[in-house]
Amino acid sequence: MGSSHSKSRLATYPVSEKNNTRLDSKLSDLSMRDEYADSEIEPSISLRLSSVVKWEEKLFADPKNRLALSALTTHAATAILQKPSVLLNDTHIFSDKVELEGSPVTNQRSSGRCWLFASTNIFRVGLIKKYKLGGFELSQNYLGFWDKLEKANFFLEQVIDTLDEPLDGRLLQWMMVAPVGDGGQWDMVVNLVEKYGLVPQALYPDSFNAKATSRINWLITVKLREAALALREIANSSSSTKSDELQSYKAKIVQQIYGILVLSFGVPPKPEDTFTWNYYEKDGKFHTLTTTPLDFYKENIGALSMGASSILENVLGGDIMGNADKGVGERFSLVNDPRNPYNRLLTVDRLGNVVGGRNVRYVNVDMNTMKAVCIAMIKAQRPVFFGCDVGKFSDMQKGILDTNLFDYELGFNVSLGMDKGQRLLTGESLMTHAMVISGVHIVDGKPTKWRVENSWGDASGEKGYLIMSDDWMSEYCYQTVVDPAYAGKAILDVLKQDPITLPLWDPMGSLA
């Protein structure tokens, strides 16, 4: 990516007076409640044991804290502090729901491929309708295989493009962290589908290593880090054919990575290889289809886009989304990042998977705007891909995402006062997981909770489905992928802007 963002301005994050005021007002909440503080103890640079003794005496003078000690030292805090009222209120009843939710419930196993599962869970809805299927999955392993190979090539090209950067600098060190990690973003899905197409899961199912990727990820990462050092050595040599040598060495490494992937994930179909798919309609009628992965995608653009193809081109004119402006490529990301101005286009420097592919782009909007588009899509029977920080205030066994789920003040005498922007600034929160919204409950014109399709199997939540409170969505949802038909021209116009470029290490560059 690199030079492609030369017209973009780099983002800066001043802390607003508003945020400072709010945080100042909460400072006492971030330590022991006033009743447990001792005004007679003078501040000290070093920790005084005499102070600790007095704090302890104050703490256990309250019987509640003696009870808390017994409970919290022998049980998980999340089990002790869970609010029963929240469990009673968070039920799977919704005023608006996508009628056809894809089946079966998917399971990414011990891998971080949630973005591929969330995207294919959306794609399959239109295919289930078109082919009258009872249940269906697209091959996540197929997209995952080509993603890792593309990421390896992308990483090595970035190494070549940053030869003048210090090896111990922040950029190179960040690039080295997880060059072929399982995570990804919506625009990266588009790159893969546009280049490689789609295949039914039955034709390229998950291998053992696709279900448990950590060892293969480690092996490829070590090889790529080693290759990065070798490329820099070649660049520092006095050879007159350095450019050719760099590309030759890179090609050798990519070939080796391909070998690792084939031996661990299986030989994948090629984009133009013919395959035959045999299937039954839900009423038992047999069919057979012979095509290629690319043709399977192109022949089903209408089903995959559910009738929204070409809207961006018709509304705005021209090719504003790059080469992938129809089909799955028409959908784009709304994000909520309070650190940056709303109604602005954002991108992340050097974040991608396919060299020459579509850059990661986000339209930054307020949460009310994001929710309004999601509601419009659900009412139109279109599920919504979204990215969130799934580990915060959640019980995945019960399938609940709710900011009121745990009462930490009751157990520990503290409350947490940071807002969404402050959590991003301090590293407290970022996008960690992608799922699908398939329902919403609206009361008096306002959403109160959302139905979520996860990819952790049917033992999580209610047969694989979760409940997300509306407050939780406001605080911990960062991204939704929306259909342009429901976004409105004001949002679509933002796509024509030169983007604000966030650095690679920015939390909005996290891969779900």
Contacts 24+ apart (CB under 8 A), 255-262: 256/223, 257/148, 257/149, 257/152, 257/180, 257/220, 257/223, 257/224, 258/149, 260/216, 260/219, 260/220, 260/223, 261/145, 261/148, 261/149, 261/216, 261/220
Cβ neighbors of 46 (< 8 A, separation 6 or more) are none
The predicted structure's pLDDT at residue 314:
54
How many CA atoms, within 13 angstroms, populate the side-chain half-sphere of residue 226? 11
Q: Which amino acid is at 68?
A: A
Cβ neighbors of 395 (< 8 A, separation 6 or more) are 78, 82, 405
Asked if 142 and 205 touch (Cβ cutoff 8 Å), the reply is no
The predicted structure's pLDDT at residue 23:
52
The predicted structure's pLDDT at residue 406:
97
Asked if 309 and 327 touch (Cβ cutoff 8 Å), the reply is yes
- Cα–Cα distance between 284 and 482 in angstroms, integer? 34
DSSP string, 366-404: -HHHHHHHHHHHHHTT--EEEEE-TTTTEETTTTEE-TT
Question: Do β-strands 286-291 and 465-469 pair in parallel, antiparallel, or remain unpaired?
Answer: unpaired
- Cα–Cα distance between 427 and 14 in angstroms, integer? 15
Burial class (CB in 10 A: 0-12, 13-18, 19+), 226: exposed
Asked if 472 and 89 touch (Cβ cutoff 8 Å), the reply is no
Which CA distances in Å does 475 have to 9, 259, 403, 412, 418? 27, 43, 8, 22, 10
- Nearest C-alpha neighbor of 421 from the set 509, 338, 508: 338
Asked if 402 and 490 touch (Cβ cutoff 8 Å), the reply is no
Catalytic residues: 114, 433, 454
- Cα–Cα distance between 460 and 467 in angstroms, integer? 11
The predicted structure's pLDDT at residue 37:
52
Q: In which residue are the tokens 């782009």 written?
A: 361
- Cα–Cα distance between 447 and 441 in angstroms, integer? 6
Question: Do β-strands 344-348 and 500-502 pair in parallel, antiparallel, or remain unpaired?
Answer: parallel
Q: What radius of gyration, in Å, describes the C-alpha atoms of the chain?
A: 25
Which CA distances in Å does 405 have to 274, 471, 472? 51, 11, 10
Structure tokens, 90:
């968070």
- Cα–Cα distance between 399 and 324 in angstroms, integer? 35
The predicted structure's pLDDT at residue 90:
81
What is the residue-level pLDDT of the chain in tens, covering all 512 positions? 343 333 444 454 544 444 444 455 444 444 444 455 555 566 889 999 999 999 999 999 999 999 999 999 999 999 999 999 998 888 999 999 999 999 999 999 999 999 999 999 999 999 999 999 999 999 999 999 999 999 999 999 999 999 999 999 999 999 999 999 999 999 999 999 999 999 999 999 999 999 999 999 999 999 999 999 999 999 999 878 899 999 999 999 999 999 999 999 999 999 999 999 999 999 999 999 999 999 999 999 999 986 554 555 555 555 544 444 468 999 999 999 999 999 999 999 999 999 999 999 999 999 999 999 999 999 999 999 999 999 999 999 999 999 999 999 999 999 999 999 999 999 999 999 999 999 999 999 999 999 999 999 999 999 999 999 999 999 999 999 999 999 999 999 999 999 999 999 999 999 99
pTM: 0.91
Cβ neighbors of 428 (< 8 A, separation 6 or more) are 418, 422
